[in-house]
Structure 1
Amino acid sequence: MLQVNLSEQAIENIKEHGGIFTLEEAPQTGCCTNIAFVGAHLGKPEGEGYFGVKEQDGIQIYYDTFIIKKDKRYEVVLEGLLKWKTLRVY
């Protein structure tokens, strides 16, 4: 089963913005690589029919079933200041 640990700040921020966030491949720039980085953003994904959904801490988590590994634990935290706060996945 998908394992996601959400920091208290991340939970508050997600709930303030509708209670939904998405885990999917993060856009990358630079040189070619075979590594898929996971990113998070508020709201539902485009083409949500291709995503799994998990309910946790009163939040709906959409996740890309091709990128997210169910045997790995994901840590989601809120980083940044003021309007530059962003969800970060570790």
Structure 2
Amino acid sequence: MKVKPLADRVMVKLEKGEEKTAGGIIIPDTAQEKTQTGVVVEVGDDKDVIKVKSGQKVMYDKYAGTQVKIDGAEFLILKMSDIIAVIE
């Protein structure tokens, strides 16, 4: 299935955070860092507002956006304003 976000929205493929420390201690989801990262896979059609492009790794707030599952993969649809930074 193909999904294209509208307006100033961006679709990001989720990346899971570290679940274990170097010493092997498992970290629960509630104790992990608040910021999350992902890779942009699709962008909306508002080119004046959207400052990222497909393939870029971005950082966003943990509770931002709408999470969707497409063909078994997890994605997040965010507003451009919810993206904190581009990771290079």
Greater share of helix:
1
Same fold, TM exceeding 0.5?
no
Q: Which has the larger radius of gyration?
A: 2
What's the TM-score once normalised by structure 1's chain length? 0.30
